[in-house]
Amino acid sequence: MMCIYTLCMQYMLIYIKSSQALSTLRWKPTASMFRLETIAILVAGLIIGGIVGWLAVSTLAPPPAGTVRTFYVLTTEWTFAIFDSEFKRVDKIEVNKGDRVMLIFLPLTFMPHELYEELEHEFIEEAIKAGLLKNEEEFEKYEEEAEETLAKEAYGVEFIPHGLAIRGYEDKVNVISEGRPVTISFTADKVGEFDIYCSLFCGWGHAFMKLEKAFVVKG
């Protein structure tokens, strides 16, 4: 935003200089015309700068408490990913006390295929790095087991279900997705940093489905 303001000022200076250069040509504007022009340009510059500055401040400032804040929580085996209302990935859900929070819990069947692959790949890489998995084949074996024995036989559903809960906010956020999106709406009435976790046993990777201090409510 400062760049736009600087550009305006530079444009004004160039204009003033070129006006002065004009005065050496055959058309001779009077000194009072220059003064009026300069004042008009300065005023215009200040107005434009003010508008640009105001826009920058109003865009960057956090929304006032009590507003509706929407976030998407995506899940696949065995991970969560958070996206803001513009579907930009974020590390945490950060809101103010008193905000109305809308969480849209999306299972893999409701996210773009590339994104689902990316999240799964990210999880596999991290699990291999942490020594939890040997390779991708081992992950696929666990996934198949969870699908066949847990989802289909035990739960009687087609896809591996996952739960979404927030520690300390379980009375408001504790839902299960069986392949369908779930929307939760609640008021953030407790200040603090809370863990987001999977509340339903979902097979081998269930214990890893936790985002520590990922729900932040500021007072």
Total number of residues shown for the chain: 219
Answer positive or negative: Cα dihedral of 93, 82, 71, 187: negative
- How far is Cα 134 from Cα 138, in angstroms, rounded to an integer? 6
Q: What's the min distance (Å) between Cβ of 89 and Cu ion? A: 21
Minimum CB–partner distance for residue 210 and Cu ion (Å): 9
Measured torsion, CA atoms of residues 120, 122, 127, 129, in degrees rounded to the nearest 10: 150
Q: Closest approach of Cβ 135 to Cu ion, in Å?
A: 22
Cβ closest to Cu ion, residue 73 vs residue 202: 202
CA distance 103 to 186: 9
Binding site for Cu ion (CB under 5 A): 198, 202, 206, 209
Minimum CB separation of residue 121 from Cu ion in Å reads 19
At its nearest, how many Å lie between Cu ion and the CB of residue 207? 8
Distances (CA, A) of 214 to 70, 80, 128, 192, 195: 15, 11, 23, 10, 6
Give phi and psi for 202, each to the nearest 5. Answer: -130, 25
How far apart CA 14 and CA 9 sit, in angstroms, is 9
